[in-house]
Amino acid sequence: MTATTTAPLSFTVSHPAAPVPDAQREAILAEPGFGKHFTDHMVSIDWTLEDGWTNAQVVPYGPIQMDPAASVLHYAQEIFEGLKAYRHEDGSIWTFRPEANGKRLQLSAKRLALPELSVEDFVQSLRELIAVDGDWVPSGEDMSLYIRPFMIANESFLGVRSAQKASYMVIASPAGPYFAGGVKPVSIWLSTEYSRAGRGGTGEAKCGGNYASSLLPQMEAAENGCSQVLFLDAVTQEYIDELGGMNVFFVKKDGNLLTPNLNGNILHGVTRASIIQLAKDRGLEVEERPISINEWKEGFTNGDIVEAFACGTAAVVTPINELKGADFSVGDPNAPAGELTLSLREELTDIQYGRRQDRHGWMTRLDA
Ligand code: COI
């Protein structure tokens, strides 16, 4: 289903009777954790097959009413995005490549048979939320407001077909580092029993179902002392796809980078694309190709691969120093973060926090 509105939507705004008091908000912002606290408002836009996108609103944050027969509750017709608002030193509020997230939401919508929202309305929905909840954007090292746009099918109908009614919403949550240890290197668990995505499935869509299927293997990872799970391709169980919620990169001993190619099963990570660009700007080569699990295992052992890292909006760039499976472990859980990993992380976050020139025009100001 393509975008059914051409004119940009205009939003109505209503405020909560009792917003979070200033002192309580400041206490939350001082130690937000990840995904635990939510701002005073949310965005909501309705869609029907008949009328397209209507009823664009900023409303008080709170529970939503839903019919128990709403299709999302039965057939998981749901997609989402993740991006961050950063407070720059002068107090202004910015976000990173929001058009890329808007386009990816459209790609996910196509795959999940949901309606497409225009990129313009997507970006405007972020601006509308920041206009009322700007005070919720924390300042300080690695602090941000994590913004979670999502879309659900909410037609009350139990037949299995694409819903004729949907809602797009945006909520936001002040965030510190995604992993409790910050930029500390993490261990990764190789799942051999489960796959994340099969050929022709929903692997490259950002839909809740992909994350639901990663939860059991993610629990297995945690039981084995690992922060994230690694999935292989479902057909041969030989090639690396991605982690439970982030893309993966390797640094070869010649200093060049290696990452799995976008093969239909892998999320088109905005951070992934940006890292590739930053590496190329430095004159490094980035190979995007199938990478076998043995190439990682052997590379970590014989020194052909000198660094590995996970990347995503939430994880930013997180060093990996160990890969573990049921009967093996490679790397060293005590090894420090890799040099290139940290330097790419620094360059990316410097751009996001306005500490370095934004030479690609990636930043969009949200509060003006
Ligand atoms: C993100 O990085 O924004 C994601 O959606 C991943 C999720 C694990 C928080």
Task: Based on the fold, state whether residues 311 and 223 are members of the same structural domain.
Answer: yes
Task: Based on the fold, state whether residues 122 and 193 are members of the same structural domain.
Answer: no
Question: Which pLDDT band holds residue 201 (cuts at 50, 70, 90)?
Answer: very high
Residue 159 inside a domain? The answer is yes
Query: What is the residue with the minimal CA distance to atom 5 of ligand 1?
Result: 82
**CA 311 – ligand 1 centroid, Å:** 10
Q: How many Å is the Cα radius of gyration of the chain?
A: 21
Total domains, the chain:
2
Mean pLDDT of the chain: 95
Which candidate, 267, 126, 149, places its Cα nearest to that of 206? Answer: 267
**CA 50 – ligand 1 centroid, Å:** 33
Domain boundary among 149, 175, 201: 175
Residue 59: give the domain boundaries: 12-175
% of the chain exceeding 90 in pLDDT? 93
Residue 202 inside a domain? The answer is yes
Give the pLDDT confidence score for residue 47 in this predicted structure: 98
Give the pLDDT confidence score for residue 178 in this predicted structure: 83
Give the pLDDT confidence score for residue 3 in this predicted structure: 52
Task: Based on the fold, state whether residues 208 and 133 are members of the same structural domain.
Answer: no
pLDDT in tens, 22-34: 999 999 999 999 9
- Work out the average pLDDT over 247-259: 97
**CA 165 – ligand 1 centroid, Å:** 26
For every residue of 215-260, DSSP letters joined together read: HHHHHHHHHTT-SEEEEE-TTTS-BEEEESSSEEEEEETTS-EEE-
Query: What is the residue with the minimal CA distance to atom 6 of ligand 1?
Result: 245
| Amino acid present at 232 | L
Task: Based on the fold, state whether residues 261 and 313 are members of the same structural domain.
Answer: yes
Residue 1 inside a domain? The answer is no
pTM: 0.95
Residue 368 inside a domain? The answer is no
Give the pLDDT confidence score for residue 338 in this predicted structure: 96
CB atoms within 10 A of CB 181: 10
Question: 78: domain CATH number?
Answer: 3.30.470.10
**CA 192 – ligand 1 centroid, Å:** 23
Residue 200 inside a domain? The answer is yes
Task: Based on the fold, state whether residues 141 and 212 are members of the same structural domain.
Answer: no
Task: Based on the fold, state whether residues 169 and 263 are members of the same structural domain.
Answer: no
With 80 as the cut, is the pLDDT of residue 188 above it?
yes
> Residues with beta carbon inside 6 Å of ligand 1?
82, 245, 312-314
Among all chains, which residue has been given the structure tokens 């976050």?
A: 349
Ligand 1 pocket test target in 147, 313, 316, 348 with most atoms within 8 Å of CB: 313
- Work out the average pLDDT over 269-293: 98
